[in-house]
Amino acid sequence: MRMNRRFAALAVAAGLLAGCAGTEVKVADNPFAGDRVNAPLHKLSLALVLPTVKAVSKDGKAVELGALAQQNEQRYDELYREVFGIFYQDFKSVTLVKSLQDPRVGEADLNASLDVALVTNPQSLTLTSSFYGPDHGLIATMKTEAPGGSTLFAADPDKVFANLIPQVPDKLDAQLLGSAELKAFSKGLSGKPAASRGEARAAKAFDSDVDRPSYNYAENADDYAVVVGVENYQNLPAAEFASRDAKAVRAHLKALGYPGQNIAMLTDAQATGNAIKSYVESWLPRNVKPGSKVFFYFSGHGAPDADTQQAYLVPWDADPQFLADTGYPLKRLYSKLNGLKAKEVIVAMDSCFSGAGGHSVIAKGARPLMTRVDTGSAADMGKVTVLAAAGGEEITGEEENQGHGLFTYYLLRGLNEGDGKNTVASLYQYLKPKVEAAARQSNRSQTPQIISDAQSGASDFR
C-alpha cells in the first residue's frame, strides 16, 4: 500500500474553537484561492507553536476558554481549519509543536507563536502572530483584528466567537502575503538543507512518455481538483514515485481544462492530515458549483484498520498505530465528496490497503490483512466514481523505467492515447489489463478496481 499525530490538531482546535458550541459558524469566502507555488512564503517551512486563547469579560477578568472547546469537536475542527488552513496554504510546510523546546523548531526555516484574544464587550477578536528565525530572533509581528461592532452577544462568549471568526482568514492571508519582513527573510534565506534520499532519487533523469499531456483543452473555471502525492513520509517508509505521480497528474488536469488556481497540490510535508481534510472538507465545499467537475487524486500509502478492516489514506504525518486519529478514512472521503454540490466527482488512488507492502503500511506488530479490506461499494458512491490501483488484498507496484506507480502510468498513458476524451469506464477498460499484465511479469497480482453506480461510471474526464 502507498500509506504526526492528531493531538496537535485537537490541541490547537481546542484553543481556537473555545466557546463555539451550539452556534453556526459562517465560513469565510475562499481564503484558499490562488496558486501560491511561486509566492515567497511557499519556499519556507514553518514550525507553529500551539496557541493560547483567552476571553476577556466585560468586567475585565480573563477567562480561559479551552475547556469550553471540548464540548463540541465539530466546532473546533471548523475553526481550526479556518485559521490554520491559511498557514498550510501559504507556507511550504507547517509542523505543529507544543513549545519552542520541540527539536523540530530548529529544523524549520521559521517558527511562529500565536495568541488569540476574545473581548465580549465591545466585541472583538485579535489573532497576534509572531515569527522568529532559527536563532529565535524576532522577524515580524502582525495582528489580525475582527471587530464586532455590537454588544448583542456580550454575555455569551460562544456566540461572540462564532460571529467574529469568519472575518479572520482572508485578513490573515492578506497580511502574510503582504508582509515585507517575511518576504525579505525569504529572499535572504541562505544555506539549503541537504537533499533527502527520496529527493535525490526524484532528481534522477526520468523522462516518462506520460509526463507531458498530448492534448490541451480550454479551461472550465468551475472545475476543481485536489492532488496529493506523499513519497517521503515523516516517520514511515517512502512510497516510491508518489511525488512524481502527483506532478504528472496535475499537468494532465491542467491540459483537461482544470484552471491552475483551482488545483490544490499537496506533496510530501504539505500533505498533512489536517491539510488534506481542509481542502476536501472546507475548500471544495466553498468553491464548487452545481455544474462543477471535481477530481481527487492520491498517491501514497494506504492502511487497513486491523480491527474494523476499514481502509484509510495515510497522510505525511500519520501513525499507523493510531490510524483512527491520524489517517483519513476512505468512507469519510467518499461521503464528503458525494456531499458536494458538484455535477460529478472522480477519484483516482495509487494506493493499496492490504498492509502487505507496496504502497501500504500497517501498525507495528499487526499481521497483514490478506483478506479483502472494506474500500467501499457502489452503494457508498452516489455521484462519485472511484478508480483504485488494486484490490483490497493486493499490493501495488511501480513502473521503474518510467518513474511512476504502475496504475498512474497507465492511467495517464490511457488519457494520452484517448486524447483526453475518455470516460472513466473506458479508461478503466484500457488500464486494467495492462496493469494486470505488467504485475504478472513481477510474479504478483494487481487488479485495478472501479467503484461506481451505473450513472456515475459514465463520467468523462473533460
Query: DSSP string of 318-357?
Result: --GGGHHHHSEEHHHHHHHHHTS--SEEEEEEE---SSSS
Tens digit of pLDDT for each residue in 298-315? 999 888 876 777 888 999
Give domain status of residue 1, yes or no. no
230-241 in b/e form (b: 16+ CB < 10 A) is: bbbbbebebbbb
Provide the total of helices (H) and of strands (E) in the chain, helices listed first: 15, 17
Q: What SS3 string covers 20-56? A: CCCCCCCCCCCCCCCCCCCCHHHHCEEEEEEEEEEEE
pLDDT at 328: 94
Q: What is the pLDDT of residue 204?
A: 53
Closest residue by Cα to residue 389 from 415, 360, 361, 366: 360
Cell numbers found for residue 271:
500533505
The domain that holds 444 is classified in CATH as 3.40.50.1460
Residue 224 grid cell: 476543481
Are 170 and 207 contained in the same domain? no
* Predicted confidence band of residue 81 (pLDDT cuts 50, 70, 90): low
Q: Is residue 228 domain-shared with residue 157, that is, in the same domain?
A: no
Question: What are 149-170's pLDDT values in tens digits?
Answer: 665 555 566 676 677 778 888 8
Could you tell me if residue 2 is inside a domain? no
Q: Is residue 372 part of a domain?
A: yes
pTM above 0.85, yes or no: no
pLDDT tens readout for residues 177-232: 889 999 888 888 754 443 333 343 344 567 899 999 999 999 999 999 999 999 98
pLDDT, tens digit, for every residue of 97-117?
766 666 677 778 888 887 777
Mean pLDDT over 365-385 rounds to 56
Tally of structural domains, the chain: 2
Q: Assess contact for 252 and 261: CB atoms under 8 A.
A: no
- Give the DSSP H/E element, type plus range, for residue 113: strand 110-120
Output the CA angle 105-111-114, nearest 5 degrees: 120
* 61 and 105 within one domain: yes
Q: Which helix (H) or strand (E) holds 124?
A: strand 123-132
CA separation for the pair 109, 45 (Å, rounded)? 5
Instruction: Find out whether 73 and 21 touch, Cβ atoms under 8 Å.
Output: no
Does 156 share its domain with 250?
no
The rounded distance, in Å, linking the Cα atoms of 379 and 362 is 27
In a domain, 440, yes or no: yes
Report yes or no on 160 lying in a domain: yes
> Is 208 found in the same domain as 184?
no
pLDDT cut 90: percent of the chain above it: 35
Residue 53 CA to residue 63 CA, distance in Å, equals: 9
d(CA 434, CA 141): 56
Residues 344 and 363 in one domain: yes
Look up the CATH number of the domain holding residue 26. Answer: 3.30.160
Based on the domain organization, do 12 and 108 belong to the same domain?
yes
Count the neighbouring beta carbons within 10 Å of the beta carbon of residue 260.
13
Q: Which three cell numbers stand for residue 212?
A: 507531458
> Nine-digit cell at 357?
507492502
Residue 27 domain-assigned (yes or no)? yes
Question: Where a domain ends, among 188, 222, 239?
Answer: 188
Backbone phi, then psi, for 108, in 5-degree steps?
Answer: -90, 155
Domain that holds residue 20: 7-188
